[in-house]
Amino acid sequence: DWRMEDYIDATVAEIRERVGDEHVLLGLSGGVDSSVAAALIHKAIGDQLTCVFVDHGMMRKDEREQVEQTFRDRFGIHLVAVDASELFLGRLHEVEDPERKRKIIGRTFIEVFESESAKLPAPKFLAQGTLYPDVIESAVAVGPAQTIKSHHNVGGLPEKMNMELLEPLRELFKDEVRRVGRLLDLPEVMVERHPFPGPGLAVRILGAIDRESIRILQEADAIFIEHLHTKGLYNDVSQAFAVLLPVRSVGIMGDGRTYEQVCALRAVSTNDFMTADWTRLPYDFLAEVSSRIVNEVKGINRVVFDVTSKPPGTIEWE
Ligand code: XMP
Protein backbone atom coordinates (compact mmCIF):
# COMPACT_ATOMS: atom_id res chain seq x y z
CA ASP A 1 0.00 0.00 0.00
CA TRP A 2 2.63 2.47 -1.12
CA ARG A 3 0.30 5.43 -1.55
CA MET A 4 -0.80 5.33 2.08
CA GLU A 5 2.76 4.73 3.23
CA ASP A 6 3.81 7.90 1.43
CA TYR A 7 0.88 9.71 2.97
CA ILE A 8 2.00 8.61 6.43
CA ASP A 9 5.61 9.68 5.87
CA ALA A 10 4.64 13.07 4.48
CA THR A 11 2.07 13.73 7.20
CA VAL A 12 4.44 12.69 9.99
CA ALA A 13 7.01 15.16 8.67
CA GLU A 14 4.39 17.90 8.40
CA ILE A 15 3.14 17.33 11.95
CA ARG A 16 6.70 17.46 13.37
CA GLU A 17 7.41 20.66 11.51
CA ARG A 18 4.20 22.37 12.55
CA VAL A 19 4.11 21.23 16.19
CA GLY A 20 7.77 21.77 17.00
CA ASP A 21 8.13 21.20 20.73
CA GLU A 22 4.58 22.20 21.63
CA HIS A 23 1.92 19.90 23.11
CA VAL A 24 -1.05 18.39 21.33
CA LEU A 25 -4.35 17.35 22.89
CA LEU A 26 -6.68 14.82 21.27
CA GLY A 27 -10.16 13.72 22.32
CA LEU A 28 -10.15 9.99 21.79
CA SER A 29 -13.56 8.37 21.32
CA GLY A 30 -12.52 4.81 20.55
CA GLY A 31 -13.85 5.22 17.01
CA VAL A 32 -11.83 4.68 13.85
CA ASP A 33 -11.08 8.34 13.02
CA SER A 34 -9.81 9.57 16.38
CA SER A 35 -7.91 6.29 16.90
CA VAL A 36 -6.06 6.57 13.60
CA ALA A 37 -5.38 10.26 14.21
CA ALA A 38 -3.92 9.38 17.63
CA ALA A 39 -1.65 6.66 16.23
CA LEU A 40 -0.45 8.91 13.42
CA ILE A 41 0.27 11.92 15.63
CA HIS A 42 1.95 9.70 18.20
CA LYS A 43 4.23 8.35 15.48
CA ALA A 44 5.18 11.95 14.69
CA ILE A 45 5.64 13.51 18.12
CA GLY A 46 5.46 10.73 20.75
CA ASP A 47 5.01 12.06 24.28
CA GLN A 48 4.05 15.54 23.15
CA LEU A 49 0.63 14.05 22.42
CA THR A 50 -1.90 13.52 25.20
CA CYS A 51 -5.18 11.75 24.51
CA VAL A 52 -8.22 12.29 26.69
CA PHE A 53 -10.91 9.63 26.71
CA VAL A 54 -14.12 10.58 28.52
CA ASP A 55 -16.11 7.55 29.62
CA HIS A 56 -19.67 8.81 30.06
CA GLY A 57 -20.80 5.41 31.28
CA MET A 58 -22.81 4.63 28.15
CA MET A 59 -20.07 3.08 26.06
CA ARG A 60 -20.15 -0.43 24.67
CA LYS A 61 -19.17 -3.33 26.92
CA ASP A 62 -15.51 -3.10 28.07
CA GLU A 63 -14.85 -0.15 25.77
CA ARG A 64 -12.74 1.91 28.16
CA GLU A 65 -10.59 -1.12 28.98
CA GLN A 66 -10.03 -1.80 25.27
CA VAL A 67 -9.03 1.78 24.60
CA GLU A 68 -6.64 1.71 27.56
CA GLN A 69 -5.12 -1.57 26.44
CA THR A 70 -4.58 -0.46 22.88
CA PHE A 71 -3.37 3.07 23.37
CA ARG A 72 -1.67 3.07 26.75
CA ASP A 73 -0.39 -0.49 27.08
CA ARG A 74 0.37 -1.34 23.48
CA PHE A 75 1.28 1.98 21.89
CA GLY A 76 2.61 3.68 25.02
CA ILE A 77 0.51 6.74 24.27
CA HIS A 78 -0.04 9.20 27.12
CA LEU A 79 -3.73 8.60 27.79
CA VAL A 80 -6.00 10.17 30.36
CA ALA A 81 -9.09 7.98 30.69
CA VAL A 82 -11.71 9.59 32.88
CA ASP A 83 -14.59 7.68 34.39
CA ALA A 84 -17.22 10.42 34.48
CA SER A 85 -20.19 8.07 34.56
CA GLU A 86 -21.48 9.28 37.95
CA LEU A 87 -21.73 12.83 36.72
CA PHE A 88 -23.37 11.93 33.40
CA LEU A 89 -25.83 9.42 34.85
CA GLY A 90 -26.72 11.80 37.65
CA ARG A 91 -27.64 14.51 35.16
CA LEU A 92 -29.56 12.06 33.00
CA HIS A 93 -31.60 10.71 35.89
CA GLU A 94 -35.23 10.32 34.78
CA VAL A 95 -34.61 12.24 31.54
CA GLU A 96 -36.66 10.63 28.77
CA ASP A 97 -36.57 13.04 25.85
CA PRO A 98 -33.95 12.09 23.21
CA GLU A 99 -32.94 15.66 22.40
CA ARG A 100 -32.60 16.56 26.07
CA LYS A 101 -30.41 13.51 26.59
CA ARG A 102 -28.18 14.58 23.69
CA LYS A 103 -27.91 18.14 24.98
CA ILE A 104 -27.06 17.08 28.52
CA ILE A 105 -24.45 14.64 27.29
CA GLY A 106 -22.94 17.12 24.82
CA ARG A 107 -22.66 19.84 27.41
CA THR A 108 -21.30 17.58 30.12
CA PHE A 109 -18.80 16.07 27.70
CA ILE A 110 -17.30 19.46 26.92
CA GLU A 111 -17.22 20.36 30.60
CA VAL A 112 -15.35 17.18 31.57
CA PHE A 113 -13.02 17.41 28.59
CA GLU A 114 -12.12 20.99 29.42
CA SER A 115 -11.54 20.35 33.09
CA GLU A 116 -9.31 17.35 32.33
CA SER A 117 -7.35 19.33 29.74
CA ALA A 118 -6.79 22.13 32.21
CA LYS A 119 -4.73 19.72 34.31
CA LEU A 120 -2.29 19.09 31.43
CA PRO A 121 0.69 21.11 30.23
CA ALA A 122 -1.01 23.82 28.12
CA PRO A 123 -1.46 22.33 24.65
CA LYS A 124 -1.12 24.62 21.66
CA PHE A 125 -2.94 22.23 19.33
CA LEU A 126 -6.24 20.40 19.45
CA ALA A 127 -6.14 17.32 17.22
CA GLN A 128 -9.24 15.92 15.54
CA GLY A 129 -9.95 12.97 13.30
CA THR A 130 -11.78 15.07 10.71
CA LEU A 131 -12.07 13.31 7.33
CA TYR A 132 -12.51 14.72 3.85
CA PRO A 133 -16.27 14.02 3.77
CA ASP A 134 -16.62 15.93 7.08
CA VAL A 135 -14.82 18.89 5.54
CA ILE A 136 -17.16 18.82 2.52
CA GLU A 137 -20.22 18.39 4.68
CA SER A 138 -19.50 21.43 6.81
CA ALA A 139 -18.69 23.51 3.73
CA VAL A 140 -21.86 22.62 1.83
CA ALA A 141 -25.40 23.23 3.08
CA VAL A 142 -26.58 20.04 4.75
CA GLY A 143 -29.82 18.33 3.85
CA PRO A 144 -32.87 18.05 6.09
CA ALA A 145 -31.80 14.63 7.40
CA GLN A 146 -28.90 16.27 9.20
CA THR A 147 -31.06 18.62 11.18
CA ILE A 148 -33.51 16.03 12.44
CA LYS A 149 -31.24 15.09 15.32
CA SER A 150 -28.76 17.37 17.02
CA HIS A 151 -25.44 15.62 16.67
CA HIS A 152 -23.02 15.34 19.47
CA ASN A 153 -19.61 14.11 18.46
CA VAL A 154 -16.12 14.42 19.89
CA GLY A 155 -15.33 16.38 16.75
CA GLY A 156 -17.60 19.23 17.83
CA LEU A 157 -15.27 20.42 20.55
CA PRO A 158 -14.78 23.82 22.10
CA GLU A 159 -13.94 26.76 19.88
CA LYS A 160 -13.34 28.68 23.06
CA MET A 161 -10.49 26.40 24.08
CA ASN A 162 -8.23 28.61 22.09
CA MET A 163 -6.06 26.03 20.40
CA GLU A 164 -5.01 25.57 16.82
CA LEU A 165 -6.65 22.65 15.05
CA LEU A 166 -4.52 19.74 13.90
CA GLU A 167 -6.42 17.54 11.46
CA PRO A 168 -4.03 15.08 9.82
CA LEU A 169 -6.79 13.02 8.15
CA ARG A 170 -8.68 15.83 6.46
CA GLU A 171 -7.66 14.76 2.97
CA LEU A 172 -8.71 11.15 3.41
CA PHE A 173 -11.81 9.06 2.84
CA LYS A 174 -12.90 6.43 5.34
CA ASP A 175 -11.39 3.47 3.47
CA GLU A 176 -8.07 5.33 3.26
CA VAL A 177 -8.17 6.06 6.97
CA ARG A 178 -8.68 2.35 7.59
CA ARG A 179 -5.64 1.55 5.44
CA VAL A 180 -3.56 4.08 7.35
CA GLY A 181 -4.76 2.51 10.61
CA ARG A 182 -3.67 -0.95 9.48
CA LEU A 183 -0.25 0.31 8.41
CA LEU A 184 0.11 1.87 11.85
CA ASP A 185 -0.68 -1.53 13.43
CA LEU A 186 -3.98 -0.63 15.01
CA PRO A 187 -5.94 -3.80 15.83
CA GLU A 188 -8.23 -4.95 13.03
CA VAL A 189 -11.34 -4.80 15.25
CA MET A 190 -10.67 -1.13 15.83
CA VAL A 191 -9.93 -0.32 12.21
CA GLU A 192 -13.10 -2.01 10.93
CA ARG A 193 -15.37 -0.78 13.67
CA HIS A 194 -18.88 0.44 12.85
CA PRO A 195 -19.67 4.05 13.75
CA PHE A 196 -20.95 4.64 17.27
CA PRO A 197 -22.92 7.77 18.21
CA GLY A 198 -21.37 10.27 20.62
CA PRO A 199 -24.20 9.89 23.17
CA GLY A 200 -23.66 6.14 23.00
CA LEU A 201 -26.14 3.76 24.56
CA ALA A 202 -28.12 6.73 25.90
CA VAL A 203 -29.94 6.91 22.56
CA ARG A 204 -30.32 3.13 22.40
CA ILE A 205 -32.04 2.78 25.76
CA LEU A 206 -35.40 4.30 24.96
CA GLY A 207 -36.60 6.58 27.71
CA ALA A 208 -34.86 6.99 31.05
CA ILE A 209 -31.44 5.45 31.66
CA ASP A 210 -29.95 3.76 34.69
CA ARG A 211 -26.97 1.52 35.43
CA GLU A 212 -29.02 -1.65 35.21
CA SER A 213 -30.46 -0.87 31.77
CA ILE A 214 -26.97 0.01 30.55
CA ARG A 215 -25.65 -3.33 31.79
CA ILE A 216 -28.49 -5.23 30.11
CA LEU A 217 -27.99 -3.48 26.78
CA GLN A 218 -24.20 -3.83 26.87
CA GLU A 219 -24.55 -7.60 27.31
CA ALA A 220 -27.10 -7.99 24.51
CA ASP A 221 -25.16 -5.74 22.13
CA ALA A 222 -21.89 -7.57 22.81
CA ILE A 223 -23.52 -10.92 21.95
CA PHE A 224 -24.92 -9.56 18.68
CA ILE A 225 -21.60 -8.00 17.63
CA GLU A 226 -19.56 -11.03 18.69
CA HIS A 227 -21.83 -13.31 16.69
CA LEU A 228 -21.51 -11.10 13.61
CA HIS A 229 -17.73 -11.46 13.90
CA THR A 230 -17.93 -15.22 14.50
CA LYS A 231 -20.05 -15.76 11.40
CA GLY A 232 -17.94 -13.44 9.25
CA LEU A 233 -20.84 -11.04 8.74
CA TYR A 234 -19.55 -7.97 10.59
CA ASN A 235 -17.96 -6.32 7.56
CA ASP A 236 -21.04 -6.95 5.39
CA VAL A 237 -23.03 -4.62 7.62
CA SER A 238 -22.52 -0.84 7.82
CA GLN A 239 -23.79 -0.53 11.37
CA ALA A 240 -25.32 -3.02 13.78
CA PHE A 241 -26.45 -2.73 17.36
CA ALA A 242 -29.05 -3.67 19.94
CA VAL A 243 -31.71 -1.34 21.34
CA LEU A 244 -33.43 -1.74 24.71
CA LEU A 245 -37.14 -1.02 24.64
CA PRO A 246 -39.03 0.35 27.66
CA VAL A 247 -41.59 -2.40 27.21
CA ARG A 248 -42.00 -5.65 29.07
CA SER A 249 -43.56 -8.77 27.68
CA VAL A 250 -44.49 -12.16 29.08
CA GLY A 251 -42.40 -15.25 28.43
CA ILE A 252 -41.65 -18.68 29.83
CA MET A 253 -38.35 -19.93 31.15
CA GLY A 254 -38.16 -23.48 32.51
CA ASP A 255 -41.50 -23.86 34.21
CA GLY A 256 -41.82 -20.27 35.28
CA ARG A 257 -43.39 -17.18 33.81
CA THR A 258 -41.12 -14.26 33.00
CA TYR A 259 -42.02 -10.61 32.57
CA GLU A 260 -39.02 -8.83 31.17
CA GLN A 261 -37.80 -6.29 28.63
CA VAL A 262 -37.76 -6.47 24.84
CA CYS A 263 -34.56 -6.01 22.85
CA ALA A 264 -34.55 -4.90 19.20
CA LEU A 265 -31.70 -5.72 16.84
CA ARG A 266 -30.81 -3.20 14.14
CA ALA A 267 -28.51 -3.84 11.18
CA VAL A 268 -28.24 -1.47 8.21
CA SER A 269 -26.46 -1.30 4.87
CA THR A 270 -25.57 2.16 3.60
CA ASN A 271 -22.86 4.18 1.90
CA ASP A 272 -23.43 7.55 3.46
CA PHE A 273 -25.73 6.99 6.48
CA MET A 274 -28.15 9.55 5.02
CA THR A 275 -30.28 6.76 3.60
CA ALA A 276 -30.02 3.11 4.59
CA ASP A 277 -31.64 -0.24 4.02
CA TRP A 278 -32.07 -2.86 6.71
CA THR A 279 -29.64 -5.71 6.19
CA ARG A 280 -31.08 -9.08 5.22
CA LEU A 281 -29.26 -11.07 7.88
CA PRO A 282 -29.81 -14.83 7.57
CA TYR A 283 -32.72 -16.22 9.60
CA ASP A 284 -30.50 -18.87 11.19
CA PHE A 285 -28.08 -16.21 12.32
CA LEU A 286 -30.92 -14.18 13.86
CA ALA A 287 -32.25 -17.30 15.57
CA GLU A 288 -28.86 -18.00 17.16
CA VAL A 289 -28.42 -14.42 18.37
CA SER A 290 -31.95 -14.32 19.73
CA SER A 291 -31.60 -17.51 21.71
CA ARG A 292 -28.21 -16.49 23.07
CA ILE A 293 -29.53 -13.11 24.22
CA VAL A 294 -32.63 -14.53 25.91
CA ASN A 295 -30.61 -17.29 27.59
CA GLU A 296 -27.61 -15.24 28.63
CA VAL A 297 -28.92 -11.78 29.42
CA LYS A 298 -30.93 -11.51 32.58
CA GLY A 299 -33.62 -8.87 32.02
CA ILE A 300 -34.46 -9.63 28.37
CA ASN A 301 -36.97 -12.33 27.40
CA ARG A 302 -37.85 -11.32 23.84
CA VAL A 303 -35.86 -10.23 20.78
CA VAL A 304 -37.24 -8.52 17.67
CA PHE A 305 -35.53 -7.48 14.42
CA ASP A 306 -36.02 -4.00 12.93
CA VAL A 307 -37.09 -4.15 9.25
CA THR A 308 -37.43 -0.40 8.66
CA SER A 309 -35.33 1.43 6.09
CA LYS A 310 -34.15 5.05 6.29
CA PRO A 311 -36.17 7.01 5.37
CA PRO A 312 -38.78 6.81 6.79
CA GLY A 313 -36.99 5.38 9.84
CA THR A 314 -33.71 6.69 11.18
CA ILE A 315 -30.82 4.37 11.91
CA GLU A 316 -30.88 5.00 15.65
CA TRP A 317 -34.19 4.64 17.47
CA GLU A 318 -33.88 8.00 19.21
P1 XMP B 1 -29.70 8.50 12.22
O2 XMP B 1 -30.25 7.83 13.47
O3 XMP B 1 -29.84 9.99 12.24
O4 XMP B 1 -28.14 8.20 12.26
O5 XMP B 1 -30.21 7.87 10.97
C6 XMP B 1 -27.24 8.44 11.20
C7 XMP B 1 -25.85 8.14 11.70
O8 XMP B 1 -25.48 9.08 12.70
C9 XMP B 1 -25.23 8.44 13.93
N10 XMP B 1 -25.78 9.27 15.00
C11 XMP B 1 -25.04 10.04 15.80
N12 XMP B 1 -23.70 10.20 15.86
N13 XMP B 1 -24.01 11.70 17.64
C14 XMP B 1 -23.19 11.04 16.80
O15 XMP B 1 -21.98 11.20 16.90
C16 XMP B 1 -25.36 11.59 17.65
O17 XMP B 1 -26.06 12.21 18.44
C18 XMP B 1 -25.90 10.70 16.67
N19 XMP B 1 -27.16 10.34 16.35
C20 XMP B 1 -27.07 9.46 15.33
C21 XMP B 1 -25.89 7.08 13.85
O22 XMP B 1 -25.26 6.13 14.71
C23 XMP B 1 -25.73 6.77 12.37
O24 XMP B 1 -24.44 6.25 12.10
ipTM field: 0.99
Extended strands (E) in 175-238: none
Please report the atom of ligand 1 found closest to the CA of residue 316. 2
Q: Which of 102, 108, 273, 275 to mutate to test the pocket of ligand 1 (most atoms within 8 A of CB)?
A: 273
Report domain extents, the chain.
2-191, 204-305
Ligand 1 atom closest to 276 (CA)? 5
Q: Would you tell me which CATH number, out of the four given (3.30.300.10, 3.40.50.620, 3.40.50.300, 1.10.10.60), belongs to the domain 204-305?
A: 3.30.300.10
| Per-residue tens of pLDDT for the chain, all 318 residues | 889 999 999 999 999 999 999 999 999 999 999 999 999 999 999 999 999 999 999 999 999 999 999 999 999 999 999 999 999 999 999 999 999 999 999 999 999 999 999 999 899 999 999 999 988 877 764 444 445 666 656 555 656 678 999 999 999 999 999 999 999 999 999 999 999 999 999 999 999 999 999 999 999 999 999 999 999 999 999 999 999 999 999 999 989 999 999 999 999 999 999 999 999 999 999 999 999 999 999 999 999 999 999 999 999 999
CA 35 – ligand 1 centroid, Å: 19
Q: Is the dihedral of CA 213, 56, 296, 282 positive or negative?
A: positive
Q: Which of 151, 201, 279 to mutate to test the pocket of ligand 1 (most atoms within 8 A of CB)?
A: 151
Q: How many CB atoms sit inside 10 A of residue 257's CB?
A: 10
The closest-lying atom of ligand 1 relative to the alpha carbon of residue 196 is 22
| CA 226 – ligand 1 centroid, Å | 22
Residues flanking ligand 1, CB < 6 Å: 102, 149, 151-153, 195, 197-199, 239, 273, 310, 314-316
C-alpha to C-alpha distance for 22 and 11, rounded to whole angstroms:
17
Nearest CA to ligand 1 atom 11: 197
Which atom of ligand 1 lies at the shortest distance from residue 195's CA? 24
Which residues are annotated binding-site positions for ATP?
Answer: 29-35
For ligand 1, pick from 34, 157, 316 the residue to mutate: most ligand atoms within 8 Å of CB. 316
pTM: predicted TM-score of the whole model, two decimal places: 0.94
Q: For the domain 2-191, what is the CATH code? A: 3.40.50.620
Nearest to 30 by CA among 85, 72, 91, 86: 72
Specify the DSSP class assigned to residue 209: -
Q: Which amino acid is at 89?
A: L
Residue nearest to atom 7 of ligand 1 (CA): 273
Q: What's the rounded Cα separation, in Å, for the pair 14 and 47? A: 17
